[in-house]
Amino acid sequence: MSHFSTLRTKITDAEILKASLRDLGITVKSEADVRGYNGQRVRADLVAVLEGEYDLGWSRNSDGSFDLIADLWGVAKKHNQT
């Protein structure tokens, strides 16, 4: 069973997204796997590599916007947000 959630965003500018993540000190990869629960992975256009076992990913839609893809429970737990 997948633990990944997909959230629609209004983000359309990949360069601003990447620059913003890098400004926060987060490593960004293109065309990479988003890591989730128990080693599960899903492919995304952009990936914010987080400390630990979980990442955030964004996949571009046909309208140019990006969907956020992540194991949100795992990310929240790792970063004390549960």
CA dist 25 and 21 (Å) reads 7
Q: Do the strands 41-49 and 56-60 form a parallel or antiparallel pair, or are they unpaired?
A: antiparallel
Predicted pLDDT at 81: 66
Predicted pLDDT at 32: 99
Predicted pLDDT at 28: 99
Instruction: Give the neighbor-by-neighbor strand order of the sheet with 41-49.
Output: 5-8, 66-70, 56-60, 41-49, 27-35
Report DSSP state, residue 26.
Answer: -
Predicted pLDDT at 30: 98
First to last CA, the chain: 21
Question: How does pLDDT run along the chain (82 residues), one tens digit per residue?
Answer: 568 999 999 999 999 999 999 999 999 999 999 999 999 999 999 999 999 999 999 999 999 999 999 999 999 887 776 6
